[in-house]
Amino acid sequence: MTLPVHPLQVLFLCILHPARSTVAEALLNHLGRGRFKAFSAGSSPRENQQPHPLGLQALTAAGVPTAGLRSKTWDEFGAPDAPRMDLVITVCDDAAGEVCPHWPGQPATAHWSYADPSAAPDSDAQQKEAFRQTLLALHRRLSLLVSLPPEKLERTMLQGTARGLTGS
């Protein structure tokens, strides 16, 4: 068994990138405690897009650091000098259906479907609750990921492991 010499690098993808993927990045970096290094990006982020304020608020309320979070295009991670990913996870159904760039190193891939919390009804309370629920659902699934023994995180096992994690 060969244990990784670097943290397992995970890229979370969405279309616009202000909410789910950003929350997943912050959560995994927090929960992973150095065993994981998370990143996030969108296939089509808007110009000057920023992480959703309610996502940042939900993370802060949960004690998860948000410093350094920014909106990025997934092209940033397909460049030759980009960090080499071990796992790429789409967190929205629209991104799962897109043709992704070639990821250096041929990482394992998975799709975890989450509803867009920013699409919740317009009331402030309903949107806050939608972000809180998304954070809790991602937290459950990412807690399972970080609790896996090292052999389940080996490159040859990662594909099936990531796809088999359920958020329930």
* 3 within some domain: no
* 1 within some domain: no
Do you know the residue count of the chain?
Answer: 168
pTM beyond cutoff 0.85: yes
What is the tens place of the pLDDT at every residue in 33-58? Answer: 889 999 999 887 777 778 999 999 99
Residue with tokens 């460049």: 79
Pairing of strands 8-14, 36-42: parallel
User: Alpha-carbon Rg of the chain, whole angstroms?
Assistant: 15
Domain that holds residue 35: 8-155
DSSP state of 89: E
* 90 within some domain: yes
Count up the domains in the chain and report the number. Answer: 1
* 69 within some domain: yes
* 2 within some domain: no
* 167 within some domain: no
* 164 within some domain: no
What is the tens place of the pLDDT at every residue in 89-146? Answer: 989 877 666 666 677 777 888 889 998 898 877 788 899 999 999 999 999 999 999 9
